[in-house]
Structure 1
Amino acid sequence: MTVKRIVPNLRASNPAALARFYAEVFDLTVPMDMGWIAFLQNETTHQLELHTASEGGSGTPLPVVSIEVDNFDDTLARLNRLGHAPDYGPVDEPWGIRRFYFSDPEGNLVNVVTHIS
């Protein structure tokens, strides 16, 4: 057996609105909106990873999803332009990542991360 995809599902009272928010922050597309569920994609990256954890590290709460980006500052600027500020960070963590947390419009805690060179 080969797992082909693992996809987090974020609870949302308005899936299309939350999808538009994520599309704007992370430069994603919304190829399908069925009303009760909306799909987001990035055509250039398909990476499979699953984490299990008791906390978010550095004593922080566990986010529902971690999203690695190649342009950390641009992502933070996009978030700020939408009127959202980080709940944690930006911070360089001792295990070699730079990250911030934010709460999306539905209250989901999101970890945005990039590796420190």
Structure 2
Amino acid sequence: MAVRRIVSNIRTDNPTALAAFYSEVFDLDIVMDMGWITTLAAPDSPATQLSLARHGGSDTELPALSIEVDDLSDILDRLESRGIQPEYGPTNEDWGVRRFYFRDPAGTLINVLTHIAP
């Protein structure tokens, strides 16, 4: 199993306006804009990302972090072996990811995802 990227998620009612701020101040590029979520990345380091969102998608709470992995089932097994069950999912989302949410021992909501073929 490999982690591909870890993205911090910031809640905002206006992702586009906040994205413009971060883009201008830190020279980040907008790499995804779905209206309810905008993701920025560093031009020379595309895995360095920040997402700004109104919610978590599919009527879910916004998680603090999104962790993209290459083997979602492996992470599910590791969590279940610790008695941790997903709060949401696993499910395939319309925007091309398979994901689930869980809470870490401190109560932080985490989104674990992998990209899937459309």
TM bucket normalised to smaller = 0.5 to 0.7
Q: Does 1:106 align with 2:83?
A: no
User: 2:62 is paired with a residue of what secondary structure?
Assistant: coil
User: Quick check: 2:90–2:98 contact (8 Å CA) kept in 1?
Assistant: yes
Tell me which protein shows more strand as a share of its residues.
2
Name 1:56's counterpart in structure 2: 56
Q: How does 1:1-117 map to 2 (within 5 A)?
A: 47-117=47-117
Name 1:30's counterpart in structure 2: none
C-alpha offsets along residues 27-86 of structure 1, whole Å, 9 cap, x if unaligned? xxxxxxxxxxxxxxxxxxx92000000100000000000000001111110010111000
CA distance in 2, matches of 1:83, 1:48: 31
TM-score in terms of structure 1 length: 0.60
Unaligned runs of 5+ in 1: 1-5, 9-45
CA distance in 2, matches of 1:106, 1:95: 29
User: 1:52 is paired with a residue of what secondary structure?
Assistant: strand
Displaced runs of 4 or more, over 4 A = none
CA distance in 1, matches of 2:110, 2:7: 15
TM-score in terms of structure 2 length: 0.60
The code of the aligned residue for 1:76 comes to L
- Number of residues paired by the alignment? 75
> What is the Cα deviation at residue 7 of structure 1?
8.0
The code of the aligned residue for 1:51 comes to S
User: 1:51 is paired with a residue of what secondary structure?
Assistant: strand
User: Quick check: 2:7–2:49 contact (8 Å CA) kept in 1?
Assistant: no
Identity of aligned residues (%): 55
The CA RMSD over aligned residues, in Å, is 1.8
CA distance in 1, matches of 2:51, 2:57: 13
CA distance in 2, matches of 1:47, 1:95: 19
